[in-house]
Structure 1
Amino acid sequence: MQPLTYAVEILPAPSRPILEQSSPSKAFIEANTIITTLDEVRHEHLIPVFVKDNEPLISQSDFIGATVDAITDVFRGEHILYPQVRVSHPIKGRIPEAKNKPASQLQDSEKTLYYERMIFAVEIPSIQATVGGNTLSLTIGGIKAYNLDNLYNRKGADEHFKVFIGFQNKVCTNMCVWTDGYMSDLRVKNLDQLHMAIYMMLRAYNQDNLLHRVECLPNYTLSEQQFALLLGRCRMYQHLPSPAKLTIPTLLFGDTQLGAVCKEYYRDESFCREANGSINLWRLYNLFTGANKSSYIDTFLDRSVNALQFVEQVRAGLDGHSTNWYLQ
């Protein structure tokens, strides 16, 4: 078992916020997403409108901008990186003058595009912690998915956003998010309300709460037999009758993600099993958050939160504080 290290480090920073280039790290989410930039979203993507009055929704670029503004207000003097942005579900179109052209003959200037779903993350590398020998950086981000909004309404209707603050594991870019750093259904009517809601969440966030939850995980270990039982039960959970699930801790991970957990139990360079087949809960947690990177944008954050909930319940079962169905 690796020795436990846990410390929050505030690195020396300038007197005002600085937006720096994003670190060229691995993607924090993969699935069917593609990488883009804030400039591309702002200048090249269309903005959907409310059908009844043709007024625009809050754009994805304005959402990112409001979040960055809130971040620089709350974390003055810290190093703040440019947002990492990924999008999915493209909605393609064309200008009226090109309505009769074959798709293969369309010029770039004749095409229109926006993406239905967008996720972004802003890293603050000057605020770090170390858990289980891994460096974590404070990270803030959000999701804007136009499919959650009622586009057949008028301007002034609630628009839906998801916002989070947590830590990103720099070894693998896995996201560590807990419930008090996650607004799963933020509803606002305008950009000012959105900025204020994000600002208040950041001001209220207690980073020690999440870190206290994960710092003890390296101290708990599953044997190879316990891991096999756990993973088998996880696969069974998906097919249980609904009444049977009521007394069992919820698991939001499907067969694809569970298959990835099993694969990386043997192969992951940073979080695989020990030589005797055992695995500590910090490594198990990172196998789940690593597998979560194959989730689609609309399920990514919910599964991020669920990963820690699930591993904490396993820890409670090992402690004997509760009976855990996954280990029986």
Structure 2
Amino acid sequence: METMTNELTVIPGTIGMMTRMMDVINTEEIEDAVIVSEEEQEEHPNFIESNTSGITLEELESNCIVPSFGDNQLTISHQTFIHRIEEAARTYFTGENFGNTEIRVSHRILGRVPGALTKKKEELKPEDETIYYQRMAFCFHIRSMSRMMNGEEVHLCIGGVRSLNEENLYNRKSPEKFKIFIGWRVKVCSNLMLTNDGLTGRLEVMSDADIYSSALRLFQDFNPEQNLRLLENLGRTKISQEQFCQIIGRLRLYQALPASQLGELPKVILGDSNVNAATKGYIENPNFGLRGRGNISCWDLMQLLNDAAKQSYIDKFLERNRNCTDFAIGIQKALNGEDAENYGWFLS
């Protein structure tokens, strides 16, 4: 698949047009994003890769404008979103030691100030141009809340995702959409391991105060130790090479099934390139691949799928990550004879 440019130029007063154009660009046929080099992954592992780039909070605050709705009311800025989640985390996890906040952005939107509308492109000066990022993901871990899980160090991690392509910016202000998560993160590869109780998949709010209170509710409902035991248990169930090949083959077949048959099976939202990456990781991944062993565990399967899901666009990343966890848990149940009717299909 060819790499698509994720940059769009807009002028003031055309936010509605810009939103519709981005909806056309990001069609359902565009499933996956650009994969960074293996060298870069090894030296600087990110919690998400794809077509994202790193940015600091200071750059967001000083270099980026805040888009507005059609009635000129400002959206909640990326930096405000980050600040409210950080505040909620420090309130709930009082006295804990927090790590730095990592921010990844994509789909840069370029514009002009009103006074530069008639200038040619080559005449534009830096002060004539505006910029913001349509999609943003961030996370930070709690250093003092670390554990060992299946031989790997993990940290409790908190973060969120914002995708302005989900907003109707050319209309009047309406509830804005955010996603918040909390879960364990593997230190060696920065893989997130999200479960249903650790993800608010569609949060709609009218103010940043709503973000703060929603984050507190998520933290209160999440049980870190119970979640850790659930994930750690995946390491106790082994998957032979024949079973792994069967799972991969079924995942490929799954994508071609008619809707009537898909409705009878567990939902899997991984794209074809995600499955390809997990297959490659089975052979090459130094932490969770075969590594000369005769088999892997359901823990390893989850990590291979999670690592592959990091290639997804920001707006699809969290749901795919949680889906990887659900899939690994489902495969474990099928292998143990607990859920052969559903996930057993992937092993049959």
Q: TM-score, normalised by structure 2?
A: 0.84
1:33, 1:86 within 8 Å by CA — same for their partners in 2? yes
Letter in 1 for 2:347: L
- Cross-structure match for 1:294: 311
1:25, 1:173 within 8 Å by CA — same for their partners in 2? no
2:163, 2:315 within 8 Å by CA — same for their partners in 1? yes
Shift of 1:32: 1.0
Structure 1: any 5+ residue segments left out of the alignment?
1-23
Letter in 2 for 1:38: L
- Cross-structure match for 1:305: 322
Q: Which moved more, 1:199-208 or 1:237-246?
A: 199-208
- Cross-structure match for 2:163: 145
Correspondence for 1:59 among 63, 69, 77: 77
The CA deviation string for residues 19-60 of structure 1, in whole angstroms up to 9 with x for no partner, is xxxxx95111111111101111112111111212x1101111
Partner Cα separation in structure 1 for residue 48 and residue 312 of structure 2: 7
Q: Which moved more, 1:205-214 or 1:98-107?
A: 98-107
- Cross-structure match for 1:317: 334
Secondary structure of the residue aligned to 1:32 is: coil
Shift of 1:180: 0.5
Number of aligned residue pairs: give it: 303
Inter-CA distance 266–105: structure 2 relative to 1 (3 Å threshold): farther
The CA deviation string for residues 251-309 of structure 1, in whole angstroms up to 9 with x for no partner, is 11111111111111111111111525411111111001111110100110001110110
- Cross-structure match for 1:111: 129
Q: Does 1:74 align with 2:92?
A: yes
Q: Which moved more, 1:119-128 or 1:92-101?
A: 92-101
Correspondence for 2:192 among 164, 167, 175: 175
1:220, 1:281 within 8 Å by CA — same for their partners in 2? yes
Partner Cα separation in structure 1 for residue 288 and residue 188 of structure 2: 10
1:177, 1:210 within 8 Å by CA — same for their partners in 2? no
- Cross-structure match for 1:327: 347
Secondary structure of the residue aligned to 1:279 is: strand
Partner Cα separation in structure 2 for residue 242 and residue 261 of structure 1: 25
Letter in 1 for 2:314: I
- Cross-structure match for 2:204: 187
- Cross-structure match for 1:37: 56
1:1-328 aligned at under 5 Å gives the runs: 25-52=44-71, 54-155=72-173, 157-323=174-340, 324-328=344-348
1:120, 1:143 within 8 Å by CA — same for their partners in 2? yes
Partner Cα separation in structure 2 for residue 145 and residue 276 of structure 1: 41
2:283, 2:291 within 8 Å by CA — same for their partners in 1? no
Secondary structure of the residue aligned to 1:58 is: coil
Q: Which moved more, 1:243-252 or 1:145-154?
A: 145-154
Letter in 2 for 1:37: T
Inter-CA distance 46–179: structure 2 relative to 1 (3 Å threshold): same
Secondary structure of the residue aligned to 1:316 is: helix
Q: Which runs of 4+ in 1 moved over 6 A?
A: none
Shift of 1:149: 1.8
1:46, 1:112 within 8 Å by CA — same for their partners in 2? yes
1:116, 1:146 within 8 Å by CA — same for their partners in 2? yes
Partner Cα separation in structure 2 for residue 317 and residue 82 of structure 1: 39
Partner Cα separation in structure 2 for residue 293 and residue 46 of structure 1: 27
2:162, 2:315 within 8 Å by CA — same for their partners in 1? no
- Cross-structure match for 2:32: none
2:179, 2:200 within 8 Å by CA — same for their partners in 1? yes
- Cross-structure match for 2:36: none
Letter in 2 for 1:241: P
CA RMSD of aligned residues (A): 1.4
Shift of 1:76: 1.2
Q: TM-score, normalised by structure 1?
A: 0.89
Partner Cα separation in structure 1 for residue 159 and residue 183 of structure 2: 9
Partner Cα separation in structure 2 for residue 252 and residue 195 of structure 1: 29
Letter in 2 for 1:112: T
1:26, 1:172 within 8 Å by CA — same for their partners in 2? yes
Letter in 2 for 1:153: N
